[in-house]
Amino acid sequence: MPMALANQLTGLTSFASSNLLLHSNPMLLPFQNTRRGTRFRKTARFPVAAISQNFMKTTLRVHAEKAVQFKVRAVVTVRNKIREDFRETMLKHLDAISDRIGTRNVVLELISNDIDPKTKSPKKSNKAALKDWSKKSSVKAERVNYTTEFIVDSNFGVPGAIAVTNKHQREFFLESIVIEGFVSGAVHFPCNSWVQGERIFFSNKAYLPCDTPGGLRVLREKELISLRGDGKGVRKLSDRIYDFDTYNDLGNPDAGIELTRPILGGTQNHPYPRRCRTGRAPTDTDMHAESRVELPQPMYVPRDEQFDESKLNTFVIKRLKAVLHNLIPGLKASLSANNHDFNRFSDFDDLYNDGQSLQDDIIKKIPFSQVVTKIQQCTQGLLKYDTPKIISKDKFAWLRDDEFARQAIAGVNPINIERLQVFPPVSKLDPEIYGHQESALKEEHILGQLNGVTVQEAIEANKLFMIDYHDVYVPFVDGINALEGRKSYATRTIFFLTPLGTLKPIAIELSLGPSSGSKRIVTPPVDATTYWKWQLAKAHVCANDAGVHQLVNHWLRTHACTEPFILSAHRQLSAMHPVFKLLDPHMRYTLDINALARQKLINADGIIESSFTPGRYCAEISSAAYKNLWRFDMEGLPADLIRRGMAVPDATQPNGVKLVIEDYPYAADGLMVWSAIENWVGAYVKHYYGHPSQICNDRELQAWYSEAINVGHADLRHQRWWPTLNSSEDLVSILTTLIWTVSAQHAAINFGQYPYGGYVPNRPPLMRRLIPEDEEEKKSEKKANFMADPEKYFLNALPSLLQATKYMAIVDTLSTHSPDEEYLGERHQSSIWSGDAEMIEAFYRFSGEMRGIEKEIERRNSDPTLRNRCGPGVLPYELLAPTSPPGVTCRGIPNSVST
């Protein structure tokens, strides 16, 4: 404390711009600098010596008698709303008036790291109101700075927390607070939170629980308790409470039995991760189902998890665009018995060239047809879709087998392909339930495609690969095919690795449900008939792939399965915990986008059910995948590649694995990103945890991980594959896996959805017709239609116009980067998010590594020897390029799951 006092007095000139008052009486005022250094004019009752050893002794004696006081300043940054409704504008004016007369204002109070030895409670400053709130209330800038001043004792110590009380009627967004005037330097409080009532914010200094300064210990625990809530009652939109619940709000039984859906989570039949609890009342017809809130009414998420205004505006604009895009198809579908299928491929081109228009015979049926005509004329440009990248370089690329295969390793879903290790493939389904599921594939089906080697030789040489959706779909195929306008197979696709390093599809197995047991093999075409059957078979594979991609890889693995870790982080990790500070940017917006998904996408009769082949079985397929396929210990990229046989362990390689297909763009680029994340996390963990005992004894860290598993993933909590958390290596692996999943993994399977899927024939999300059989349907109308006009049969097997445009609109939205996106290697307030200079420097090294990865990806995309990412009509692989401008770009790795 004596040294701290000397430092306080010698450092006063750092705040010399405001006459530093050391209390009104006594008071020290600095003279002008002279050659001998800074001298002080004595106005106190005690002597003040020059800055020397004698000064130290003198101030020691002074401090023993009476602590001096000095003034510090707070600079508070508030972010204004871009748009305000009438109510908000009125409240703002009322708050300005009440602030001016002093009845309602914004008050701050500093809280020291130190305990007052007399009161045994944290030292606190005087309370101070923000200045000029009423004068600046009309400022239109995005950010407005307010100031206030505090008088503190020289033995106050360093502030570790600040209490902010908003007595106004209107909430405001507090971005940051900086305290100036302490000799130790400015103290930063990155807040980024909405303030209503009283709030506590901690400085950017990180502390493990056992190292928490005495003045902050009670506040640390009190804040966590407030965030957990009591698990009761209906959550208000203004609440900041994080709690768990099952997915019991996807169905809408009050609207009809056809909209009932099973509850996901909490049962053996339908296990699932937990989601954020809202506490809404049950439905009238099912006490176990939660009542729904439909758009435009917002779904509850904790207040600080809600979209930023610029992010929300991006969604609103996209939603309006989607309404316009579906206006004409919707009118056509409602006013005509015709399903309005695509009858020629040029119909798809019209969506990008001219947009949709209504024919005169349909317009005549519409009341106020002149108004509709006027709307159509005024919105013509808005009705056009942007041209998807897949047809921007080569309009017919999607028809080629090599492009179909290339997308298996460099498209929007490159994470299902696996090395074929057993031929024929073997099902893992229970034969007592689904019957024997032997594959219909035989060696003679593919032998002629193997460049003169046997199947076994090709397997041993790592030349055969497979995308296997048999077990995912077989339990549901009978139910799907009973739905109106839905037809599906359970598919297996076999690929051969050519000497050029590219893949070619050599066989597709199509299985129907257990009720029929039908299986057939389709191989590459040799004539016109087999050509169209082959195209239909590939389309069914793509529809299977689209369903698994959306329901399992995208929604389940990157959205739903990470939500429990986010909820638990807010409940168990203090904002001053170093792991919370590390994870904070990787949790941004995820709870809000997941709530929107429950409200509009994955709900009964929502966009996913309407647009994808499984229909009402979508959620059940996702639950089955969680039960049978998802494992947290296999979500990391190296582990996943090894599990799928796409890589083998190799200690000589930088990431400890060697790819089986060298030119596997997703894996090759992904391993660079994985390594960069792992290096950054490793440096961070090493800095804060020098010994394994610190991890085992970190009660907050252990509570976070335990709750995420035992509550958030309660249905799988007894699985033995959950990693332990006993060492630095364990923690690095867990954190790297989480950050990889929500950033790079999500980016790789999300932001290519419109660039690849926006052209529906390339990647149909659903199919409406099966492939005509060779014998059984020779005389059927279906067979006759196929023989008479195979192109039309193919197009009519794809989604209808309304289904296609609805799907295109949603993947356009999901593929869009908002202007406020924060990319991997970036952080808002990048120089002050942590109070540890060494970690700031380590983060900048991580940022530099990401920039280097971006340049390497550019180089690879220009290498003509890498034919899966470079060549005529071949899209460069940029989905793991770290940065991106706003919009649909098919690149960019945001820090978090936000779309």
Tell me how far apart the alpha carbons of residues 544 and 557 are, in angstroms, rounded to a whole number.
Answer: 17
Query: Given pLDDT bands bounded at 50, 70 and 90, which one contains residue 323?
Result: confident
> Is 523:782 a contact under the CB 8 Å cutoff?
no
**Domain extent for 477:** 416-549+765-784
Helix (H), strand (E) at residue 847: helix 837-860
What's the pLDDT tens digit per position in 795-833? Answer: 999 999 989 999 999 999 999 999 999 999 999 888 999
Mean pLDDT of 330-337: 58
- Those residues with Cβ within 8 angstroms of residue 607's Cβ, 6 or more apart along the chain or in another chain: 600, 601, 806, 807, 810
What's the pLDDT tens digit per position in 223-248? Answer: 999 999 999 999 999 999 999 999 99
Predicted confidence at residue 82, as pLDDT, reads 81
HSE-CB of 130 using CA atoms within 13 angstroms: 30
Helix (H/G/I), strand (E/B), else coil: 97: helix
Please say which residue of 138, 170, 204 terminates a domain: 204
Q: What percent of the chain lies above the pLDDT cut of 70?
A: 87
Predicted confidence at residue 535, as pLDDT, reads 97
pLDDT at 395 over 80: yes
Name residue 235's amino acid: R
Tell me whether residue 359 is in a domain: no
Tell me how far apart the alpha carbons of residues 753 and 748 are, in angstroms, rounded to a whole number.
Answer: 10
Tell me whether residue 282 is in a domain: no
Predicted confidence at residue 467, as pLDDT, reads 98
What's the pLDDT tens digit per position in 458-467? Answer: 999 999 999 9
Helix (H/G/I), strand (E/B), else coil: 194: strand
Predicted confidence at residue 876, as pLDDT, reads 98
- pTM for the complete prediction? 0.90
Query: Given pLDDT bands bounded at 50, 70 and 90, which one contains residue 36?
Result: very low
DSSP secondary structure letters along 236-274: PTT-----EE-B--S--GGG-GGG--PPBSSSSSS----
Tell me whether residue 106 is in a domain: yes
Tell me whether residue 17 is in a domain: no
What's the pLDDT tens digit per position in 477-486? Answer: 999 999 999 9
What's the pLDDT tens digit per position in 587-643? Answer: 999 999 999 999 999 999 999 999 999 999 999 999 999 999 999 999 999 999 999
Predicted confidence at residue 789, as pLDDT, reads 92
Only one residue has tokens 């991580």, namely 846
Mean pLDDT of 33-37: 36
Predicted confidence at residue 95, as pLDDT, reads 86
Tell me whether residue 833 is in a domain: no
What's the pLDDT tens digit per position in 856-895? Answer: 999 999 999 999 999 999 999 999 999 999 999 999 999 9
pLDDT at 706 over 50: yes
Predicted confidence at residue 373, as pLDDT, reads 55
Mean pLDDT of 711-734: 98
What's the pLDDT tens digit per position in 399-452? Answer: 999 999 999 999 999 999 999 999 999 999 999 999 888 999 999 999 999 999
Mean pLDDT of 199-227: 97
pLDDT at 32 over 80: no
Please say which residue of 176, 204, 232 terminates a domain: 204
Tell me how far apart the alpha carbons of residues 694 and 702 are, in angstroms, rounded to a whole number.
Answer: 11
> Is 409:664 a contact under the CB 8 Å cutoff?
yes
Tell me how far apart the alpha carbons of residues 768 and 571 are, in angstroms, rounded to a whole number.
Answer: 46
- Those residues with Cβ within 8 angstroms of residue 156's Cβ, 6 or more apart along the chain or in another chain: 110, 112, 114, 123, 125
Only one residue has tokens 């006459």, namely 19
Q: How far is CA 120 from CA 115, 215, 565, 674, in A?
A: 6, 9, 36, 48
Predicted confidence at residue 782, as pLDDT, reads 65
Q: Identify which of 860, 849, 859 has the alpha carbon closest to the alpha carbon of residue 882.
A: 849
Residue that wins the pLDDT comparison between 104 and 661:
661
Percent helix, percent strand, percent coil in the chain, to nearest 5: 45, 15, 45
Helix (H/G/I), strand (E/B), else coil: 745: helix
Query: Given pLDDT bands bounded at 50, 70 and 90, which one contains residue 294?
Result: very high
Tell me whether residue 189 is in a domain: yes
Q: How far is CA 121 from CA 115, 154, 222, 402, in A?
A: 5, 17, 14, 71
Tell me how far apart the alpha carbons of residues 843 and 854 are, in angstroms, rounded to a whole number.
Answer: 17
Tell me how far apart the alpha carbons of residues 113 and 340 are, in angstroms, rounded to a whole number.
Answer: 69
Predicted confidence at residue 50, as pLDDT, reads 35
pLDDT at 776 over 70: no
- Those residues with Cβ within 8 angstroms of residue 681's Cβ, 6 or more apart along the chain or in another chain: 582, 732, 735, 736, 739
CATH value at residue 541:
3.10.450.60
pLDDT at 42 over 60: no
Query: Given pLDDT bands bounded at 50, 70 and 90, which one contains residue 19?
Result: very low
Query: Is 796 exposed, middle or buried, given 0-12, 13-18 or 19+ CB atoms closer than 10 A?
Result: middle
* Helix/strand/coil (H/E/C) assignment for every residue in 556-619: HHHHHCCHHHHHHHHHHCCCCCHHHHHHHHHCCCHHHHHHHHHHHHCCCCCHHHHHCCCHHHHH
Helix (H/G/I), strand (E/B), else coil: 343: coil
Task: Report the largest interatomic distance among the alpha carbons of the chain, rounded to a whole angstrom.
Answer: 113
Predicted confidence at residue 329, as pLDDT, reads 67
Tell me how far apart the alpha carbons of residues 283 and 876 are, in angstroms, rounded to a whole number.
Answer: 50
**Total of domains in the chain:** 2
pLDDT at 455 over 60: yes
> Is 559:593 a contact under the CB 8 Å cutoff?
yes
Residues in the chain: 899
At 844, list the tokens. Answer: 């900048």
CATH value at residue 145:
2.60.60.20
pLDDT at 334 over 70: no
pLDDT at 46 over 70: no
Tell me whether residue 397 is in a domain: no
Tell me how far apart the alpha carbons of residues 168 and 133 are, in angstroms, rounded to a whole number.
Answer: 11
Tell me whether residue 64 is in a domain: no
Predicted confidence at residue 65, as pLDDT, reads 53
Only one residue has tokens 């018995």, namely 337
pLDDT at 781 over 80: no
Query: Given pLDDT bands bounded at 50, 70 and 90, which one contains residue 363?
Result: very low
Beta-bridge partner residues of 165:
107, 198
Only one residue has tokens 């169905």, namely 251
pLDDT at 103 over 90: no
pLDDT at 534 over 60: yes
Mean pLDDT of 662-685: 98
Mean pLDDT of 343-352: 90
Predicted confidence at residue 778, as pLDDT, reads 52
